[in-house]
Amino acid sequence: MTDSIKILPVQPCGAVGKCMSHPSSYASSLSSYSKPTTARIASYAMTQLETARAKDVATHEANEPAIAANLEVAKRVRVLMEEIGMPASYTERDTKSRSRYPKTIRHDAGYLQDLRRECKTDDGFTYATSTYERLKKEYQDYADKAAREAEIEAGRAQREQEEALAKRKADMALAAILLRYELPLESTWEDVLEHLRTKDQRLDLAIAMRDTRGDWSEGAYRVKNALQRFTIHTNEDKDIAADVAAHLVDFEDGRVFRDCEWNYDRLLGTVVNRQLVADAEIARKSLEDE
């Protein structure tokens, strides 16, 4: 006796098919007082996709016994129909055709149409899988883009924080120097450096030499001017003035003030007031950073 079988219901795997075609469409699903970041949208979208995929996988696994049973039903029906000589298709004249020789239309036999309609042997899992793989690639590309944007934003925020901290430190340093030398509160770093140079002629000359070492496109006018302000008090002052002045003759290259006997580093080393030198260095650097 033939085993008794019957058609079983099969649930479609349609969860992934309900996912948004592009992850950015999930932005409206995220309730927030501020606009959600791309990274947050990407994470939420991927979670929705993976959740849908898990549902489809679970649905397909639950469908497997029913699909197997329905395949057996379909097979037995076809075998039976073949045994009794029932044709699998039929043709009829196309009544809508106005041709002299009307075409015929082929139709599947009714039992085959019934099987497709009532005896489900495909739950759409293959199509759901291809949709999932396509969406996952698109979602992952979006997530990668979000990660890059987040990295750029983090770098920008870090730079802003560092710049703000540097400015705060510079402001504090400026305030301290203004108080130390009793300078007007509206003084700029340029004002500060100009004032500090008046405190020591060796500091003044060294700065002129260093500045010329950095840029001698307009000649050594800075050093010439500083030498004009330089007053001889000691034999060492005389040696300094003579050495520096000698390098102004046929001047061509600011590097001579780095390499001469009384170069700017040696000059700065002879300034007794080390606080003055330190403050001048701070002022010069702050001017360069502006």
Mean pLDDT of 261-284: 96
Distance from CA of residue 158 to its chain's centroid?
Answer: 13
Express the helix, strand and coil content of the chain in percent, nearest 5 each: 65, 5, 30
Residues 204-233 have pLDDT tens digits of: 999 999 999 999 999 999 999 999 999 999
Q: Using 50, 70 and 90 to split pLDDT, how confident is the model at 193?
A: very high
> What per-residue confidence (pLDDT) applies to 252?
92
Mean pLDDT of 128-136: 97
Residue 2 pLDDT more than 70?
A: no
Mean pLDDT of 139-161: 91
Can you give the three-state secondary structure of 97-132, one letter per residue?
CCCCCCCEEEEECHHHHHHHHHCCCCCCHHHHHHHH
CA distance 170 to 286: 7
Residues 32-43 have pLDDT tens digits of: 677 888 889 999
- Report the mean per-residue pLDDT for the chain: 92
Proportion of the chain above pLDDT 90, given as a percent: 70
Residue 47: φ, ψ to 5°: -65, -45
Indicate the length of the chain as a whole number. Answer: 290
Residues 47-97 have pLDDT tens digits of: 999 999 999 999 999 999 999 999 999 999 999 988 998 888 888 887 777
Residue 290 pLDDT more than 80?
A: no
Angle between helices 274-289 and 201-214 (to 10 degrees): 30
pTM: 0.56
Residue 162 pLDDT more than 60?
A: yes
Q: Token match 């969406």: residue?
A: 135
Residue 163 pLDDT more than 90?
A: no
Proportion of the chain above pLDDT 70, given as a percent: 98
> What per-residue confidence (pLDDT) applies to 4?
73
CA distance 109 to 132: 35
Distance from CA of residue 205 to its chain's centroid?
Answer: 48
> What per-residue confidence (pLDDT) applies to 97?
73
Q: Using 50, 70 and 90 to split pLDDT, how confident is the model at 3?
A: low
- The helix (run of H) or strand (run of E) holding residue 90 is strand 89-93
Picking from 115-124, 190-199, 239-248, 256-265, which range would have the lowest pLDDT averaged per residue? Answer: 115-124
CA distance 177 to 7: 93
Residue 1 pLDDT more than 90?
A: no
Mean pLDDT of 88-114: 81
Q: How many Cβ atoms sit within 10 Å of the Cβ of residue 196?
A: 24
The SS3 of residue 135 is helix
Picking from 13-17, 27-31, 189-193, 202-206, which range would have the lowest pLDDT averaged per residue? Answer: 27-31
Buried/exposed 234-261: b ≥16 CB within 10 Å, e otherwise? eeeeeebbeebeebeeebeebebbeeee
> What per-residue confidence (pLDDT) applies to 243?
96
